[in-house]
């Protein structure tokens, strides 16, 4: 999908010129029509006389002869129509490309709110072209890469650079062309592209080819925009043993400028509903793609804290737990689901918002994250947050909720019990709107993109 911005400057001049050309061609067409009418009458008389002469000749010599009409003349009518169509086509192309703003190419890598809001902001500043990256199913992904190559080759010449979030296989293509043509490359680091946890096969640096693609792109980036400091350089002390995080330790030889730009969140959409009564419910959103193989789903569930949540639910039988972003088919290996756990499946944003508005607590038991939007969205709906001490989670929660230092079911159960009686939901919303608004992110992005 290619989105293009059309500028209205110069439209009046183009319209007047096209109108004059059309009027001239129309006048020539009328003149040619009248000329052909006169010639048609003359030709008819000549054909009649020629036919009589040939008939007399054939009778005198006993030979047969056929009467053929005058040779067809090429009509100016077709030339005029073709010329007008050509001028219209060229005019449209010139008019479409008349946007005088600098051009930036966008790679659409996710349908999340934060990605779409970034793209909308960039389109307001620049003339943009966008390409949708589709990594699933894998068979279609190869053709998608071919399309991305030709699309980049077509548009890169007039562009200042390429902007996208998340590094993966596809990042090699824009990195190659921007490096070759000395264009800018802005990469937003969001999470899995800045982590490597070999124990759980997590991160783009686990497999050799994927790691090479990621490192190739990061080394050739002109600007890196991690959404949290730990995605550039930091430590995750929530897991055992503690692990270093960030591309600084994963990709040697980085020459890019690094700008930490925190995510911004939509407080207009994610809002509380005072008419709804909150229940003793804990919401956990995992976001595990249904297309993943079963073993990959199990690893992701462990990293997202789903197995830990089931253990906590056993300890708190009077509390309702709702898991969204995954289905019950993730249970395998003899795992049992407590009766107080509900799998909500994959929900639309409006449905997810309604869950947040009815729940008392939002839990983020992930072992590793970037700056999770689901946590901030729930806080904007005035859920009391409980989160692990990993990456950007404590920064979002601040003093409006509870931080768990280690993945212990007992520690998590104690923190959730405190959150169920806390009254810090309004403070949680105020923190996100004040510290992590879209306006603050957009101001930082404007500064980075203008460098």
- Summarised one tens digit per residue, pLDDT across range 366-379 is 999 999 999 999 99
> What is the model's pLDDT at position 368?
94
> What is the model's pLDDT at position 343?
94
More confident residue, 375 or 141: 375
Strands 159-165, 184-189: pairing is parallel
Mark whether 151 and 205 lie in a shared domain. Answer: yes
> How many structural domains does the chain have?
3
> What is the model's pLDDT at position 128?
95
Q: Any idea what the CATH number is for the domain that residue 399 is in?
A: 3.40.50.2000
Mark whether 301 and 332 lie in a shared domain. Answer: yes
Is residue 269 within 8 Å of 349, Cβ to Cβ? Answer: yes
Mark whether 339 and 212 lie in a shared domain. Answer: no
Domain containing 364 equals: 279-435
Mark whether 220 and 289 lie in a shared domain. Answer: no
Indicate whether 4 pLDDT > 70: no
Mark whether 246 and 286 lie in a shared domain. Answer: no
More confident residue, 2 or 361: 361
Cis preceding linkage at 211, omega within 30: no
Is residue 329 within 8 Å of 314, Cβ to Cβ? Answer: no
Last residue of a domain, one of 67, 100, 133: 100
Mark whether 296 and 369 lie in a shared domain. Answer: yes
Mark whether 256 and 286 lie in a shared domain. Answer: no
Is residue 161 within 8 Å of 183, Cβ to Cβ? Answer: yes
pTM for this prediction: 0.77
Mark whether 132 and 251 lie in a shared domain. Answer: yes
> What is the model's pLDDT at position 111?
84
392 is a domain residue: yes
> What is the model's pLDDT at position 254?
96
What is d(CA 372, CA 392) in angstroms, rounded to the nearest whole number? 7
Banded pLDDT at 68 (limits 50, 70, 90): very low
230 is a domain residue: yes
Residue the block writes with tokens 């800018």 = 184
Tokens at residue 414, please? 């104690």
Give the DSSP letter of residue 276.
S
Banded pLDDT at 139 (limits 50, 70, 90): confident
> What is the model's pLDDT at position 75?
55
Is residue 252 within 8 Å of 210, Cβ to Cβ? Answer: no
47 is a domain residue: no
Last residue of a domain, one of 100, 116, 143: 100
Last residue of a domain, one of 83, 100, 117: 100
Mark whether 82 and 138 lie in a shared domain. Answer: no
DSSP-assigned states of every residue in 354-420 = HHHHHEEEEEE--SS-SS-HHHHHHHHTTPEEEEESSTTHHHHHTTSSEEESS--HHHHHHHHHHHH
* 89: exposed, middle or buried (Cβ count in 10 Å: 0-12, 13-18, 19+): exposed
69 is a domain residue: no
Banded pLDDT at 62 (limits 50, 70, 90): very low
Region of poorest pLDDT, from 32-36, 301-305, 440-444: 32-36
129 is a domain residue: yes
What is d(CA 198, CA 449) in angstroms, rounded to the nearest whole number? 34
Cis preceding linkage at 319, omega within 30: no
């Amino acid at each position: 999908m290619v989105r293009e911005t059309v500028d209205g400057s110069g439209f009046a001049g183009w319209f007047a010129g096209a109108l004059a050309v059309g009027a001239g061609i129309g006048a020539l067409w009328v003149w040619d029509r009248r000329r052909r009418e006169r010639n048609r009458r003359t030709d008819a008389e000549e054909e009649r006389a020629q036919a009589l002469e040939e008939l007399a000749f054939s009778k005198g010599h006993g030979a047969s002869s056929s009467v053929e009409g005058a040779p067809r003349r090429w009509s100016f009518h077709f030339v005029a129509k073709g010329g007008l169509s050509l001028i219209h086509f060229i005019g449209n192309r010139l008019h479409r490309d008349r946007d005088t703003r600098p051009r930036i190419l966008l790679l659409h890598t996710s349908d999340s709110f934060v990605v779409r809001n970034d793209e909308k902001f960039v389109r307001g500043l620049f003339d943009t072209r966008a390409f949708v990256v589709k990594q699933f199913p894998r068979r279609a992904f190869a053709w998608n890469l071919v399309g991305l190559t030709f699309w980049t080759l077509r548009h890169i010449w007039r562009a200042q650079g390429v902007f996208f979030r998340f590094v993966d296989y596809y990042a090699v293509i824009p990195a190659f062309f921007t490096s070759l043509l000395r264009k800018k490359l802005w990469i937003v680091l969001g999470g899995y592209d800045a982590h490597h946890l070999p124990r759980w096969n997590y991160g783009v640096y686990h497999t050799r080819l994927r790691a090479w693609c990621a490192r190739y792109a990061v080394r050739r980036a002109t600007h890196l925009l991690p959404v949290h400091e730990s995605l550039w350089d930091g430590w995750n002390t929530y897991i055992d043993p503690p692990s270093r995080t960030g591309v600084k330790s994963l990709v040697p030889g980085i020459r890019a400028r690094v700008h930490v730009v925190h995510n911004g969140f939509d407080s207009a959409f994610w809002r509380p509903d005072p008419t709804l009564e909150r229940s003793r419910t804990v919401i956990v959103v995992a976001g595990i793609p249904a297309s993943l193989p079963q073993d990959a789903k199990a690893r992701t569930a462990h990293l997202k804290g789903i197995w830990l949540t089931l253990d906590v639910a056993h300890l708190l039988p009077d509390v309702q737990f709702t898991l969204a972003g995954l289905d019950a088919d993730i249970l395998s290996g003899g795992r049992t689901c407590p009766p107080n756990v509900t799998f909500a499946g994959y929900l639309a944003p409006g449905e997810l918002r309604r869950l947040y508005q009815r729940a008392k607590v939002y839990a983020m038991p992930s072992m590793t994250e970037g700056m999770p939007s689901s946590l901030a969205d729930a806080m904007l709906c005035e859920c009391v947050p409980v989160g692990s001490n990993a990456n950007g989670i404590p920064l979002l929660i601040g003093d409006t909720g509870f931080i768990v230092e280690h993945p212990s079911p007992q520690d998590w159960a104690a923190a959730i019990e405190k959150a169920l009686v806390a009254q810090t939901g309004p403070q949680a919303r105020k923190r996100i709107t004040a510290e992590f608004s879209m306006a603050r992110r957009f101001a930082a992005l404007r500064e980075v993109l203008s460098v």
